[in-house]
Homo-oligomer: A and B are copies of this chain.
Amino acid sequence: MAKTEKRTLRGGNMLNPAPVVMVTCGSTLDEYNIITIAWTGTVNSDPPMCSISIRPQRHSYEIIKREEEFVINLVNRKLASVADWCGVRSGKKYNKFVETGLTPVRATQVKAPMIEESPVNLECKVTQVIPLGSHDLFMAEIVAVHVNGKLFNPKTDAIDLQRADLVVYSHGHYYALGDKLGKFGFSVEKK
């Protein structure tokens, strides 16, 4: 077997692109916070589960550890700048809902608020916390999902998530989604 022609580096976080989401937490209006997270993803299909990784130093860490609940709010192009701001500023110093003007709305299964301006909200209940080093991994079951009515195809009533104009994060930069390259299974589809 041949050797690679590539340049070899030590281990590092080069898994890209990544989702970028705003996580909301807290059980009272005073405590509500927003933290932007890229170390997140789906980890299980049935039951539906996701994970978020948080540094113990972050303001939201203690809140989520205590409440065992949070909401994942997807980020679209319009929200990219405010999501970035929530990622570089701390809830210790700022009331982020007040500063950003984002609208907190009531969730159905958790006390944490949802961001109404976000196209999709996922209510999550923590099932397990695993300390890994710099971050703790919070695994959670997704107990309810809220989807902006404009994202449904009016003819089929199916969710057309392309309408959400979601943002992705890759190696320190935010991007819109670009060319649609194919649907799952397109490589074996009969033309």
Chain B nearest CB: distance from A90 CB in Å?
A: 12
A34 on interface, CB distance cutoff 8 Å: no
Please, which residues of chain B bring their CB within 8 A of the CB of A142? 11-15
Among B19, B137, B159, B181, which residue has its beta carbon within 8 angstroms of that of A174?
A: B181
A114 on interface, CB distance cutoff 8 Å: yes
Please, which residues of chain B bring their CB within 8 A of the CB of A29? 1
Please, which residues of chain B bring their CB within 8 A of the CB of A42? 13, 15, 18, 38-39, 53
Nearest B-chain residue to A161, judged by Cβ? B171
Nearest B-chain residue to A141, judged by Cβ? B11
Please, which residues of chain B bring their CB within 8 A of the CB of A141? 11
Given A122-B15, A177-B17: A49 in contact with B8 (beta carbons within 8 A): no
Interface string of A75-102 (1 = CB under 8 A from B): 0010011101101110000000000000
8 residue pairs, one from A and one from B, having the closest CB atoms: A178-B178, A41-B41, A161-B171, A44-B132, A6-B146, A85-B187, A84-B187, A176-B178
Interface residues of A (CB under 8 A from B): 1-19, 21, 29, 38-51, 53, 72, 74, 77, 80-82, 84-85, 87-89, 103-106, 108, 113-114, 116, 120-123, 128, 130, 132-135, 137, 139, 141-149, 152, 159, 161-162, 166-188
